[in-house]
Amino acid sequence: MTLCSPGDEVLIPSPYWVTYPEQVKLAGAKPVFAELKKEKGFRLKAGDIEDKVSEKTKLLIINSPNNPTGAVYERSELKKIASIAVDNDFYVISDEIYEHLLYEGEHVSIAGLGPEIKDKTITINGAAKAYSMTGWRIGWAAGPVNVIKGMTDFQSHTTSNPSSIAQAAYLEALEGSQNSFRHMAAEFRKRRDLIVKRLNSIDGISCPKPGGSFYVFPNVSEISKNSMTFSERLLEKAKVALVPGVAFGCEGHVRMSYACSEETIKKGMERIKAII
């Protein structure tokens, strides 16, 4: 069972996580990008993808809360997107790895919006973010039986399985107290507010407040049109590491993570401000 084949098209809202286009290319399909509007907080709207749908469209990849922007997609828009997918007979991969790192609004899983879209959705999640198990490489996919069977057959012949230790640890994380990620989300909210305030105080930088994840995606185009050059200069001159927005399909922006201490955030912001 394959979701897409050579010649098929896969819709990807932009900015996007860097591996999405490469995964599509590995399958022999063509990534088609739907550019999201920064003035609307990079939140996906049904109209953003509707004009991109063609008879070759086989799949849509969504990620909410989003990496790199932190945007959280709204229930009303996801309902419209679900209708577009059902009406045009294409699948949806919903990457929900940041589900529990949410500060405003609600997390909506598109597969929960009705039986028709559930039959066309593959939901992806895992232990890395909510349970701080990054690097353990343990997660899961849920979807139609024939799709999951096809994934299992392919995966079993191409990679090794997650270690027994990682599986046991994730089971304990799922069945144990869930207070850990609630506390973590509260701390991330403070860091988010701090980094957004500091970034917006720097001339030439504008940064929307993300609703989830642990990234900010500020606009630096007034300072530099080339996000790679901007990031390289800050790394060399200020010893601050950023990811250029061009890697996510959005030039003029950079991605910053606030998965660090408030002291580190303050120090990093002071260095950026001094250089700029």
Q: Each residue of 92-101: pLDDT tens digit?
A: 999 999 999 9
- Output the DSSP codes for 97-133: TTTT-B-SS----GGGG-HHHHTTEEEEEESTTTT--
Domain interval for residue 245: 179-275
Asked if residue 197 and residue 84 are part of one domain, the reply reads no
pLDDT tens-digit map of 99-123: 999 998 899 999 999 999 999 999 9
Residue in 116, 127, 64 with CA at minimum distance from that of residue 91: 116
Q: Return the CATH number at 214.
A: 3.90.1150.10
Does the pTM surpass 0.85? The reply is yes
Asked if residue 225 and residue 103 are part of one domain, the reply reads no
Tell me the C-alpha distance between 7 and 4, whole Å.
8
Asked if residue 236 and residue 256 are part of one domain, the reply reads yes
Q: Which residues pair with 260 in a beta bridge?
A: none
Asked if residue 160 and residue 228 are part of one domain, the reply reads no
Q: Can you give the pLDDT at residue 161?
A: 75
In a domain, 252, yes or no: yes
Residue finishing a domain among 154, 175, 196: 175
Residue in 217, 200, 201, 212 with CA at minimum distance from that of residue 252: 217
Asked if residue 187 and residue 165 are part of one domain, the reply reads no
SS3 265: helix
Q: Rounded mean pLDDT of 178-183?
A: 86
Q: Rounded mean pLDDT of 39-60?
A: 94
Residue finishing a domain among 123, 153, 175: 175
- The answer to whether the beta carbons of residues 184 and 101 sit under 8 Å apart is yes
Asked if residue 109 and residue 45 are part of one domain, the reply reads yes
In a domain, 2, yes or no: no
Confidence of residue 258 (pLDDT cuts 50, 70, 90): very high
In a domain, 59, yes or no: yes
Residue 261 scores a pLDDT above 90: yes
Residue 166 scores a pLDDT above 60: yes
Write the CB contacts of 158 (distance below 8 Å, at least 6 apart in sequence).
none
Residue 236 scores a pLDDT above 70: yes
Write the CB contacts of 161 (distance below 8 Å, at least 6 apart in sequence).
none
Residue finishing a domain among 142, 175, 208: 175
Q: Can you give the pLDDT at residue 18?
A: 93
Chain centroid to CA 260: how far?
19
Q: Can you give the pLDDT at residue 244?
A: 97
- Output the DSSP codes for 4-48: --TT-EEEEEES--THHHHHHHHTT-EEEEEEPPGGGTT---HHH
**CA within 13 Å, CB half, 271:** 17
